[in-house]
Structure 1
Amino acid sequence: MSSPRALADIRKDLESFVGSRVKLKANKGRNRIVEREGVLESIYPNIFVVKINERKVERRVSYSYADVLTSTVELFVYGNKNEEIKIAAVNE
């Protein structure tokens, strides 16, 4: 079972990046991995929301902090000089 402290740390890391461009790598099961880019729109107590623009359609997808902790979702935030900063579990 994951520790609540680790989930709080992931949430705290993401709070400073609200409004920033992010890249998601989500494992959807059965060898399906989806990569998308968007903007980290908002942070809630149990989930975070990413706004994605695909083919002239604006979508919002949400993931839990546990998804990041278990590496089901890999989240990369673009820094000042377009370098990627990985938001990862505490023990990585």
Structure 2
Amino acid sequence: MGRNALSEIKRTLEGYVGQKIRLKANSGRRKTIERSGVLEETYPSVFIVKLDEEQHAFERVSYSYADILTETVELTVCDDSGQVPVKYVKNPQQ
């Protein structure tokens, strides 16, 4: 189940490469970081976000697909139709 879930999240994100996204990351001890940028690239285990230059000290950040699965990172794609949250929803028939 875990490997299929990660593959599904990766496939979903591949469709949004080049799109503007917002992410909210839990960095421990009740500390949450909110960032915005562009989904730059997907790799087998991680995805790269190029951050907006004027808002952040870092140029790029990377997160694993497991971060989305465990809800450590909440990702929202901002496209023409509005904002689309990227989440893994478990199929109840599995």
TM-score, normalising length: structure 2: 0.88
Residue of structure 2 in register with 1:59 after alignment: 59
Residue of structure 1 in register with 2:70 after alignment: 70
Mapped to 2, the partners of 1:87 and 1:55 lie a distance apart of 25
> Counting strand residues as a fraction of each chain, which structure ranks higher?
1
Structure 2: gaps spanning 5 or more residues: none
Q: How big is the shift at 1:58?
A: 5.7
Counterparts in 2 of 1:1-92, with a 5 A limit? 3-55=2-54, 59-81=59-81, 83-91=82-90
Q: How big is the shift at 1:30?
A: 0.3
Count of aligned pairs between the two proteins: 90
Moved over 4 A (4+): none
TM-score, normalising length: structure 1: 0.90
* 1:70–1:89 Cα contact (<8 Å) kept: no
Q: How big is the shift at 1:89?
A: 1.4
CA RMSD of aligned residues (A): 1.7
Q: Which AA in structure 2 matches 1:19?
A: G
Structure 1: gaps spanning 5 or more residues: none
